[in-house]
Structures are given as structure tokens and as C-alpha cells.
Structure 1
Amino acid sequence: MNNDNNLAKEPDHLIAHGVDDEPVESNLRTYKGRSYQVITLIAAVYAAFHMLALNGLGLKALTGGLVDIPFLPDFPIETWNFRIAHVAGALVLGFLMFSATSFPEEAQTRPKAVRFLAYPLLLSALFSLGMAFYFAWEIASGTMWNGIDKGIRFNEIWLYGVPLWVAATGSIILSWFDKQSRGRFAPHDFVLAACALSVAVYLITIYGTLMRNSTGTPFAPVGISMAALAGTALIMELTRRVAGMALVVIATVFLIYVFVGEFLPGFLSSPAITWERFFSQVYTDAGVLGPTTAVSSTYIILFIIFAAFLQASKVGDYFVNFAFAVAGKARGGPAKVAIFASGLMGMINGTSAGNVVATGSLTIPLMKKVGYEKNTAGAIEAAASTGGQIMPPIMGAGAFIMAEVTGIPYSDIAIAAIIPAILYFVSIFFMVDFEAAKMGMKGMRKEELPRVATMVRQVYLFVPILILIVALFLGYSVIRAGTLATIAAVVVSWFTPYRMNLKRVYNAFEIAGHMSIQIIAVCACAGIIVGVISLTGVGARFSNLLLSLADTSQLLAMFFAMCIAILLGMGMPTTAAYAVAASVVAPGLVDLGIPLLTAHFFVFYFAVVSAITPPVALASFAAAGISGANPLKTSVASFKIGIAAFVVPFMFFYNSTLLMEGELIDVLRSGLTAVFGIFLLASAVQGWFIGNRANLAVRVALTAAAFLMISGGLMTDLIGLSLAVAVFLLRKMVGAKSAVAGA
């Protein structure tokens, strides 16, 4: 303990400080005083509720049956109710924490009319909420509820639905024009929070009477459709606030398609669907409450809590300092640190852009300091941070959705990801190393870096990650493994200067509540798109299109699938990008006869790299904001740095041993030859081979050798290796002749 305290007093040797700190978004409120206490309490209770629910620990269970409050449900909660509460809690917390607009740098007067209108809208929202509770009381009293009774229908439309619509629509629109204070609650956001509660109370009440079986039929209560429409609008508005317009625009296009699809030609044509039928189904497991929310309410939020506990115990600082100690002295040191640190941080961070902000604020300035041009510095960080999403065992969050959608055990997915993740980071490493070699860069000086001995003495901070891996492969459930890892994060903190006591545990849950808002909103919004795809049948028709392309060329069909996956992923966080692409593209690949895991991994990989694919590349744009470079130029540069990685999915498509399928000797051979192929391809792209610049002829030969090496066959491997050796020997001979001639 004394050693750790001494180390904490040596900031000149510890480069990373505060990389775990959450960035302050332009529209994030920063409360103080009582407001801060209220919002942190809501966030902490929200996160802790999930931890208890996922582990089946209710108040009754925790007290051994001594305390049993009737109106507080004991765990486990019914699945649909849990998901509805999960989304509603994120909406309430999100509207209170994130403003509808960025805060003005200078104080501005709030328009009185806009502020005044919030109060009658709040009354309308509260009236709707009151009616939802009244319906719950009526049903509990034995009233038979259906969508045909005229009295019930009148109450649902005019006393519940219309007030809810007026309050939600009015406050969403008026909040856009409300000049707000960063440190105060906004009246319109209270209205939206009340609307979210009204939607949740009504749906929990109605679905609790088994009325979920009537969704999509004339017997469905019209209130379901009205609540779902309001809930959809609230989800899209929160998504706009926390993740930008890209996903909202795509969701809007899909929603419009529902009602105009019957007028479209060809495979885009869809049957006519009424708004009542559609919205009575979209807020079920066919849409919002489907796979994306199932995963966000279980695995994703659990690992967000795990990441928050690591953050509260300052483990993220250690990860980055460890990366500097290991790789800082290599040529172009900070760039290689970015690769190492981003892989460690990215696997527990749900978004590529978030990973860029966490590690890039430190690595990008240092890259510029050692000679990297600002576009290149930002591009390297963006490419490295994006790779964290495919780094096992946690893999950001998209892998949890893959497990839910495919039914493949999560541990199998994590194992299959090992070689693709290695190939991705190896390709980035070679691209960075060759760039540094061409520019004659050096590494950082020893005295500028953390001491290796210091880092080794604190290597126990990796224990939570190790426990997570061991628990998963011992057969523990993902939830139990994540819980054990979270507890381990608390225990290892007791051996650092950042010992976690009850206050720090409370802070960790509060951090988790804040961190979870964006990804929950994104998953719910993606659920809307998934609902449209499943209810209109457009996914099946897209599968038929892929089948027809495959008749011409299977490679052409795969290339088309790649383009669609990247296009759907542009501007979207990884989880949403994969969820949408998995609904549209993956079924078509499976219909082509491609194994389920390979098809989904192909889609997942390209959904990940869409974050560095121009023209809309979220990770590159985030990096450009830190480096001060042009966003488009940075995205082009990150695409170039990651170009070798774009070949990887085609590698495991043609060679399934790269997904750990097959005999161990075949897996090892394929992995080694693929790494060598990636090396040759990076050499060709960067024009640098074995210590010298490569001319056009050499680069063409290296490209050919690379593709032969990564195709997976024994004969092609031998030919590719022979070609690479021939290029190497030829260059040696030419170099020797030049030396003799010069002498």
C-alpha cells in the first residue's frame, strides 16, 4: 500500500490521468447542490436496480423474507415489464440530464412564452399518467379490458392518448427553442419525463393482463398504439440528443416506408399497414422490446456497470500508462500506445467515438508532438479505437446482441473473435510502424514514460478482466461472470490509492447510470428499425435480392452485403449499426448457405469499421475534433490506415478456421499465414518493405502475394510465400549491385 502511495506521488512518470473521466457533452447538464444530489440518486438507483434484478436480488430476498413491501415487486421481474421499465428509466434520466440543444456560451434570456407553455403541457402529461394509474386500478378491480368496448376506447383515446400526445409533441418541439441553463432543470424536460412514465405505466398495466397477445389485431386496445407512438417519439428525441441525427433520420425513413411501401415498386413493395396495427406491435418483442433492448437491459448495462467500477477505481489510467510503458519507446511510440491502449479501453467501451475521446485526448497530442501530421494522428486513434469493438472478451457491446439474435453462446462468439481481432490490430500496427519508418520517427525517451517496474507491481489491476475471462470459460453465465468481475474491481481497488468505499460504490453506480443512457437510447431506436424490417418483410425480400446476385457471383453478393452493412452503419454507434445490418443483411447471407456465425460476424465486422469509413465516420470525426484536423480528411486517412482490415471478413468467409473452426493445427497455420499476408498488404499500401521504400512494381507484387497468403489454401500460401521471398531476394540483389556500382 505504501508503494502505491509513493507511486501516486510520481506524476512525472505516470502520463495518463483522468482518461476514465466522462467527457462533458455540449448539451449535458452539470448540476450542483440539491439538483446534483437528486440526479445522482436517480442514476445510481437506476443502475443498482439492474444489478439487483439481473442477479435476482429483491428486497425480500436480501432480507431473507423479513421485509416484503406489497407494492414493490420482488425479483425476478416479468421480462416485458423489466424491459419497459428499463427503457422508461433511461428516458426519464436522459431527458433530465441532456438538453434538447447545446448550451449557449453566453447567458441568454429564456423566451417566456416557451417556458410558460411547459406548465399546461405538464398538467396534460400528469393527467395522462393519472389515467394510466386509473386503468391499472380498474383492471385490478376486475374490469374486462379489450379494444372493442366503446367506453374503454373513449377513455383511452380522449382521456389518456390525446393528452399524452399533446404533452409529448408540444414539449419535444418547444424544447428545441428553449434557451436553457446548464445547471438547472428545464420545465419541458419534466414534461417529457412524465410522458415516459405514462407510457411505461400504461403498457405494463395492459401487457400484464395478457393483452400483448392481441397486438396487431382489431382486439388490441387503441391505447397500446397511442402509447407506443408517443414512446417511439420520445425514444427518437432522446436518441437525437445523445447520439445525433444519423440514427434518427434512418429510423424516420424506415417509419415512412411502413406507410408508403405499398406504393413502391419491385422488392421494396410491402403490404398496406394501418398505424394502429403497426404501433400496437412496434412496442413489443417484434420491435422496441425485441433483441436490442433485451441485450441492453441485461448484458450491456451489466458491463457498463463493470466499466463504471473500473473507472471509479482508476483502472483506465493504469491501462493507458501500462501501454505507454510497454510501447512508448518504439518508433512512433504514441501511435503504438494508441493501438494498445485503445484495444484495452475499447473492449469495455460501448462506442468507438467514446473510446476516441477517452484515450485520444492523451495520445493524439503526443503523436503530433513526435512528428505525426494532425490528420494522421487523428486517423490512427480513430482506427485503433474502432478495433476495440471487436476485442474479446467484452467486444464493446455488439457481441451481446449477436448472441441474442443468433442463439450462439457468447463464449463461442468471444473465441471466434480472437483471430479477427488480432488481424485487425496487427494490420493497424504494421500501417503505423511503416508510416513511422518512412518518416524516420523515434520513440519517446525513457524518462518521459512510466516505469515498467511500477506497472508490473500494479499488474493485479488486470485481475477483474482475468476473472471475467476465466468465469466465462468455466461455464458461468455472462451475467454471473460480469457480476464477479465487478466485485473483483472493488476488491483490487483496496490495494490502490483509490480504495472503493460505500461512497465510491455509490459514485460508480451513478457513473453507470449516466454512461448507459446513450447506448440504451440507441438500442431502443434500433429496435424501431428492426420492428419495421420484421413487420414489413423487407428483410426477406432483401435476402432474395442477395440470392439473385449470388447466381451471378457469390463474391459480388458478399461485396454488396459489405456495402450495405457499411452504409447502414455510417453515423451510427456499433450496437445500432450491427442490430440493423443483422436484420437486413445477415439473413440473406445465411440463405446463401453461409454458416450462421460467419454471416453475422461478417456483418458485425463491417458495422464496426463503418466508424472509420468516409464520408460519415463517427470515430474519425471525434478524433478530428481533438486533433484540430479536417474531419473528412481524417476519415479518409483512417480509412487508408484501416484498409488492410477491410480484407479480414473476406478472409474468414473463405477460411472458417480463422473463426476457430477446425483442427488446432489448421487454425494456427491459417492464423500465421493470414498475419503474414496482412504484413505484405500493409507493406504494399504504405510502400515500405523490409527497411526500404517500395516502388510500384514491388507494391503490385506484394499485393498479389498478400492476397495469395490470406486466401487460406495450402497451395496459395506456398505460392504467396514464394512470391514474397522472391521479391525480398530480388531487392537484396538489386541493393547489392547498387552498392558495388557506387563503390
Structure 2
Amino acid sequence: MTSDPQSASPLDTAVVDEELVEKNRSVFSGTLKLAVAIFAGLYAIFHMAVLNGWSIRDWTGVDIPGLPVFPMETWNFRIVHIAGALILGFLLYSARPFRDGPGRHPLDWLAWAAMLPALFALVTAVRFASDIAGGTQWNGVDPGIRSAEIWQYGVPLVVATAIGIVVGWMRPRDRAAVVPADILLSICAVAVASYLITIYGTLMRNATGTPFAPIGISLAAVAGTALIMELTRRVAGLALVVIAGIFLVYVFVGDLLPGFLNAPNIEWARFFSQVYTDAGILGPTTAVSSTYIILFIIFAAFLQASKVGEYFVNFAFAAAGRARGGPAKVAIFASGLMGMINGTSAGNVVATGSLTIPLMKRVGYHSKTAGAVEAAASTGGQIMPPIMGAGAFIMAEITGIPYTDIAIAAIIPAVLYFVSVYFMVDFEAAKLGMRGMRDDELPKLADMARKAFLFLPILILIGALFMGYSVIRAGTLATAAAAIVSWLTPFRMGPRSIAKAFELAGTMSIQIIAVCACAGIIVGVISLTGVGARFSSVLLSIADANQLLALFFAMCIAILLGMGMPTTAAYAVAASVVAPGLVQLGIPALTAHFFVFYFAVVSAITPPVALASYAAAGISGANPMATSVTSFKVGIAAFIVPFMFFYHSAILMEGTWLQILQAAVTAILGVFLLSSGVQGWWAGRTAGVLIRVVLLTAALCMIEGSLLTDLIGAAIAAALFFWARMRRGSPEPAQ
């Protein structure tokens, strides 16, 4: 065994830092691979440059005509952000399963033919820009301009987009090639972006949603919406696309529906002239994906390229691997840490679960339990401060609450969740009589401690944030630190490794950008139809009868809206529908949004549609539904904690230090009793039904939060403990 911690373990922890290749993602070679890699790398570098205000002039002292001086105008930046992801996504992700072997297809001629109207639309958008720059007064009512926008730009673009999507569905694709339909869709994405940047650069952004809005905005938005939904289908499945489609249909049938679902009749042109603005697609979800999310994806890519992620997992094995059921406890620490950074529960399951799930099975966990523990731990990473899988930044964007306040408020709830999961796996291991891993199976903790400086990027990130640096500056410093600390290891990052990290970041960002843009469509429908306000009125009417019932209803809606969605999109949608109603109930904005956020996150482990659990089942070989049910059980605390901080705001760090300390201690004892009751393990022995019921009762008393109920719960637990010892003797020694 070597002294280097990253090679000290016989475990194959290198898989944690390997690039994951999805089933429908292309694997190119030669010139095509190089071209796509360069584009992906430049795409990530572009974001880092814009976010930090770098420019060619800063580097050279000279202005080069045609190159932007950063920072870019906000809307233009977001439009380019989405367009770049669309181009990369269509090139890299197939519309349908790959076929064996290359070859032409009869439908290719249709895609090639459709490139003519797509290119014509692109050239027309450039011509419009030239006309506007030349002094043409652009408006939405001039008959000549309107006709040109419809027939020379809009119709060719929409037709080409429709052909590209349909041909992509019907035409099988070789994994090592790009098909004409995907090139066509990439051209359409450029045409949409070119026109919108041109028109929004004039006063036309003030006309959106009015009769004066150029019809071209509506037609560009139709094409852009279709492109976003198609890419989302390719990278994230149908769930979010179906939900977005239902909301889009609602726009045009809402006036026919009864009750609170009834909405005013909205003309298609008016709706689409607004949906591709900051009221929809370019709104909060894209604002966060174009700034904080992609910044931390770049950070995660640098951690991966410098092998720091591998060290995190090795450190977790060294610290917790010897405990009973060791690999499950390693999964809790490693997946929680990595999930905090990468922002997607299912993706984190695949990254760390490929190592931890087989090891959990090896020490005795059932396949479904191994998958469930990994799914629950990876999902918990989304509520782990300071990054919270980018959730903290979205919450700050939506609520206006300072990021640092949100990160501090998340500490105790995150501790409660992970303590609960730890107890659940520990009691399961105790019931099954499991052992820990042997010393010769693990890296040495002393070796890990000597390389603790590899935690420096995370510490710099946290320190910079709480010293008052902006999130952008803190993330940039942490990214630079990841490259610098790599020089103290055998995995030194040079120009080639840095370029690889940026390329990796560009490809890693595609899914989250697509789902954020698609969620923006839903947010746009909610804001433009007013359905969110009407939902709030329904919630208020329920609360008049019973506030707890209203909270339960809000919980169900948040989970249902989040099923099948990545965490970021799930919270963004639920925050638009559910949170305003909770605020109107008199619940503080921070509490209301945390309530919604938690349930949007745990939708990833909630049957019947549990993305994280399904990903874990694919690795463990267990039944997906059985895995999701077990992960729901393992993560049960996440369904209780939001009600805890609703009844006792000290859990969100609101109150005196004494109140916060009391809330934290009693809540931890409460989740301990909850875990013991759910697992049926108490005082070192298997617990019967009666004891489990009493334990759950005591847990609920501790969870309620008042001093009286805390004392009652503690008294019940103490009496039960002494009673169990007197009846059954001393408990088994803890391991």
C-alpha cells in the first residue's frame, strides 16, 4: 500500500472522477471529437470570462472590433447561454437509441433540404440587425416589417425546427457521428438567438406582451421553446417535457376550465412574445443556471480533473469504513459532499454509487437497501450548505434573501437529515449483524490526514462566501485553488488538464441548463396566466379550516411537481406555485421556501417516480420500485424536518443561541427516536411493535418543538430505555 492517499486504497475510487457517458450520448473521435471538445471548452470559458468581467482588452490592452467587452448585457448573456447549450446538446445527445454501425438514412435528404430555410432565417436575422444598426425604426405594426418577419424569418425557422425535431425522432443515429437533423437544429438555435439579441437590443423588449411587439419575437419563441423541450427530452427524459406541455396547453384552454383553474383567454402571439423574456425562459431559473450553476459545474469539473473528488471518497472510507455497515456510512459522507457540489441527485448516485453500492452489497446489505442508502445520501447533498446543489442560489434569486442567511439557516436541517440517515443505516447494520471493512481494505487515515490540504478549495469557497465576497468571486477562487493544490499531488493540472476541465464543464452543464430553461417555460405560464395566485387562494381557504392540512396539501403538490425533475427545476416550479400561498398564510418567506425546497428535493426518492432511486437500482440490480420505497424509508426524516422548522423556527437559526441550541439538540434526539422506531431497533435489541409505537410517539413529541413536549418526549425515551434494559439486560456494545 503506497503512502499517497489517492492510491493508498485497493478500492477503485478513481471511478468517482471518471467522466460519465450517458446511454444516448455520442462518443466522437478524430477531428469531430476535437471540434466538439474545443466548442465545449470555449463555452465554459466564455461563462467564466463574462461572470468575472474579463475581456480581450483586459488581457491585451487593445480593443478588437467584433469581440465583446464584458460584462455582457444580461438578456443577451442568457440568450447566448441557452443557445450554446442547445448546440452542444444536439451535437452530443441522440434523439433516439443508437443503431449499430454508420450509414445514411432516407430522411437525411429532408434534413439537408430544411437547412435552406434555416439558413435563410439566420441570414434574415443578421440582415435585420444591419437594418436596425442603419437607423431603420423597428416596430410591430409596420406592415412591411411584419411581413418580412413572418415570411422571411419566422415561418422558415419554425418549419425547419419542426422538420429537424421530427426527423431526429425517426432517424436512428450512430454513436460516433452527427446526423443532418442535429446540425439543422443547431442552426435553428443560432437563428433564434441572433434574432432575439437583435430585437431585444432595441426598445422592443418593452413591447413584449403588447400589440406593438414584433411578430418575429413570438415566432422565434415558438421555435426556441420547441428546441428547449426537445433537448430536455433528450437529456432528462419525458417527465419535465410532459409537465411543460400540460402548462402550455393550459394557456390556450384555461378560459374553458372551471373554478380556480379558469384563466383569461390569451392570444398565442402575446403569450409567446413574453415567454422568452425574464418573465419566463430568461427568468430566475436561467439567471441561476447562467451564473451560479455553471460556475459550480466548472468548480466540480476542476475537482474531478485534479482527482480531489477521489480523495474525498478515500477520506470518507478511511474515517467511516471500519464502522459496522461501513460502506453505507461512507456513502452518506461522500455522496453528501459530492452531491452538494454537482447539483443533481441522480447524477451523484451514478458517480459515487458505482463504488459504494457494490461494497454495501459485499458487506451484507440487500441490493434494494444498498441502492436506497446511496439514493437518500445523494439526495441529501442537495440540502447540504453552503452550495446545496445550487438550490441556495435559486432561493436567493427568487426571494431576495441574502445567500449567507440561506446557507446558515440550512445547517441544522441538513444535520438532522444526515444524522437520521446515519442512524437508519447503523440500525439496519446492527439488526443484520454486519461488520465493518478490514484495515487492509481501506486507505489509512493517517495518510488521508497528511493530504487534508486537498479540502482547501472547499474551505476557500466557504471562507470567501462568509467574508463577504460575491458568489462569483468565491467560486472562481475555489476553482483556481483546485488547480493550485493539484500541484502538491501526482495529478498536477497543466494547460492540457485545465483545458480538459473546461471541456468537461461544458458537457456537464448541458442537462442542467436545458432543464432550467424548460422549467422557465412553466414559470412563465404560471406568472402570465395567474394560476399561481389562484392556487394561493385555494391554499388560504384550506388553511381557514386547518393550517396543518394546508401544509400537507402544499407538501403533496411540491412532491408531485418535482417527480421526474432534477432538483433545480423541481424547486423553481414548486416555488412559483406553492410558496406564494404559504407566504400569504403568514409563514415567513425563508420558512415557506425551505418547506417547498425540501419536498421538491425529496421527490427524487419518493415513489412512484423517484429519479435518484431508479438510478441507484440500475447499479444495484434491484427492483426500481422496491428501491424507491426503501429510499423513502431511509430518508423519512426529510419528510418530517420541514414541519419541524415550521413549528420551531429556531431550527432555521432564528432566535437566541439558547433557543437554537435547544431546538438542535432535541430535534437530533427526535430523529434518533424516529429512526429507531422506523427500523425497530432499541437499546441494542430488536424492538417489538409496541415499543416502536412508543418510540414514534416520543419522536413526535420531540419534533413538535415546545419545551413541554420536549420534556415529555425525553421522559418517554428515558423510561423506555431503562425498561428495555431491565427486561433484556445490557445492550450490545456500540461499534
TM over 0.5: yes
Tell me if structure 2 keeps the 8 A contact 1:242–1:518.
yes
Matched, 1:40 2:31: no
RMSD: 1.4
SS of the aligned residue for 2:469 comes to: coil
1:118 counterpart (111, 124, 132): 111
What is the CA–CA distance in structure 1 between the aligned matches of 2:314 and 2:176, rounded to whole Å? 34
Structure 2 contact 40–502 (Cα < 8 Å) conserved:
yes
Match of 2:81 in 1: 86
> Any idea what the Cα deviations from partners look like across 1:415-467, whole Å, max 9, x if unmatched?
11100100010111111111110010111101100111111111101000000
Code of the residue aligned with 1:599 in structure 2: it is: A
CA deviations 1:458-489 (Å, max 9, x no partner) are 11010000000010100111111111111111
What aligned pairs does 1:639-678 form with structure 2 within 5 A after superposition?
Answer: 639-678=632-671
Aligned pair 1:572/2:572, yes or no?
no
Question: Which residue is equivalent to 1:489?
Answer: 482
1:397 is paired with a residue whose SS is: helix
* Counterparts of residues 126-141 of structure 1 (less than 5 Å): 126-141=119-134
In 2, Cα distance between equivalents of 1:533 and 1:645: 27
What SS does structure 1 have at the residue aligned with 2:392?
helix
Matched residues in 1 for 2:677 and 2:385: separation? 29
Give the Cα–Cα distance (whole angstroms) in 1 for the partners of residues 325 and 438 of structure 2: 11
2:509 counterpart residue number = 516
2:62 matched residue in structure 1: 67
Per-residue deviation, 1:62: 2.3
Count, aligned residues:
731
Give distance in 1, aligned partners of 2:413 and 2:6: 40
How much does 1:412 deviate? 1.0
Which digits, 9 at most, give the CA deviation of each residue in 1:364-412, with x for residues without a partner? 0011111111111111110111000011111112221111000111111
Q: Is the 8 A contact 1:15 1:449 kept in 2?
A: no
2:53 pairs, out of 49, 53, 56, with 56
Contact 1:657 1:670 in 2 (8 A): yes
| 1:479 corresponds to | 472
Instruction: Please state how far the C-alpha of 1:22 moved relative to its aligned partner.
Output: 2.2
| Letter paired with 2:295 | L
Query: Residue deviations 1:71-121, cap 9 Å, x none?
Result: 1120011111111111111111111111111213x337542x211111111
Counterpart-to-counterpart distance in 1, 2:344 and 2:5: 30
Which one of the candidate residues 551, 560, 571 is aligned to 2:553? 560
Quick check: 1:581 aligned with 2:574?
yes
Equivalent position to 2:620, from 627, 630, 634: 627
* Distance in 1 (alpha carbons) for counterparts of 2:234 and 2:692: 46
Query: In 1, Cα distance between the equivalents of 2:119 and 2:558?
Result: 42
Q: Which blocks of at least 5 consecutive residues in structure 1 are unaligned?
A: 739-743
Matched ranges for 1:331-730 at <5 A: 331-730=324-723
Alpha carbons 2:563, 2:603 under 8 Å: kept: yes
The answer to whether residue 196 in structure 2 is matched with residue 203 in structure 1 is: yes
Given that 1:8 and 1:497 are in contact with CA atoms closer than 8 Å, whether structure 2 keeps it comes out as no
Question: Cα offset for 1:11?
Answer: 5.4
Instruction: Give deviations 1:213-254, integer Å, cap 9, x for gaps.
Output: 000011000000000010000000000000000000000000
Aligned ranges for residues 214-233 of structure 1 at < 5 Å?
A: 214-233=207-226
1:639 & 1:123 partners in 2: Cα distance?
A: 52
- C-alpha distance in 2 between matches for 1:341 and 1:584: 33
- Which secondary structure does the structure 2 equivalent of 1:271 belong to? coil
Contact 1:296 1:519 in 2 (8 A): yes
**Alpha-carbon shift at residue 69 of structure 1 (Å):** 1.6
1:181 to 166, 174, 181: 174
CA–CA separation in structure 2 for the residues paired with 1:244 and 1:334: 31
Q: Which moved more, 1:661-670 or 1:226-235?
A: 661-670
Q: What is the deviation of 1:14? A: 5.0
In structure 1, C-alpha distance between the alignment counterparts of 2:88 and 2:241, rounded to whole Å? 19
Using the TM superposition, give the Cα deviation of residue 185 of structure 1 relative to its aligned residue in structure 2, in angstroms: 1.6
* Partner AA of 1:520 in structure 2: I
- The answer on whether the counterparts of 1:15 and 1:450 sit within 8 Å (CA) in structure 2 is no
- 1:176 aligns to what SS in structure 2? helix
CA-to-partner distance for each residue in 1:540-581, whole Å, 9 max, x for gaps? 000000100000110000000000000000000000000000
Poorly superposed stretches of 4+, deviation over 3 Å:
8-15
Residue deviations 1:104-156 (CA, integer Å, cap 9, x gap): 3x337542x21111111112111110000000000000001111111111110
State the Cα distance separating 1:6 from its structure 2 match: 5.5
Structure 1 distance, partners of 2:706, 2:416, is 18
- 8 Å Cα contact 1:110-1:178 kept in structure 2: no
Q: Does the CA contact (< 8 Å) of 2:3 and 2:447 recur in 1?
A: no
- Hey, what's the Cα distance between the residues in 2 that align with 1:736 and 1:147? 84
Matches of 2:22 and 2:52, distance apart in 1: 32
Are residues 670 and 202 of structure 1, via their aligned partners in 2, closer, same or farther at CA, if it must alter by over 3 Å?
same
2:25 to 22, 25, 28: 28
Amino acid at match of 2:714: L
Decide which of 82, 101, 105 is 1:107's aligned counterpart: 101
Partners of 2:452 and 2:356 lie apart in 1 by 22
Residue range with higher mean Cα deviation, 5-14 or 256-265: 5-14
Task: Please give the alpha-carbon distance, in whole angstroms, between the structure 2 residues aligned to 1:666 and 1:336.
Answer: 30
Q: Distance in 1 between matches of 2:407 and 2:107?
A: 51
Residue 319 in structure 1 maps to residue 312 in structure 2: yes
CA distance in 2, matches of 1:697, 1:10: 50
CA distance in 1, matches of 2:190, 2:237: 24
Contact 2:6 2:310 in 1 (8 A): no
Is this contact kept in 2: 1:110–1:179, CA < 8 A?
A: no
How far the C-alpha of 1:503 sits from its partner, in A, is: 1.1
Give the TM-score normalised by structure 2: 0.98
Distance 1:293 1:462 in 2: 30
Q: Which amino acid aligns with 2:458?
A: I
CA distance in 2 between partners of 1:448 and 1:737 (Å): 32
Change (3 A) 1:281 1:594: same
- 1:262 has 2:230 as partner: no
Q: How far apart in 1 are the matches of 2:494 and 2:117? A: 43
Aligned residue for 1:96, secondary structure, equals helix
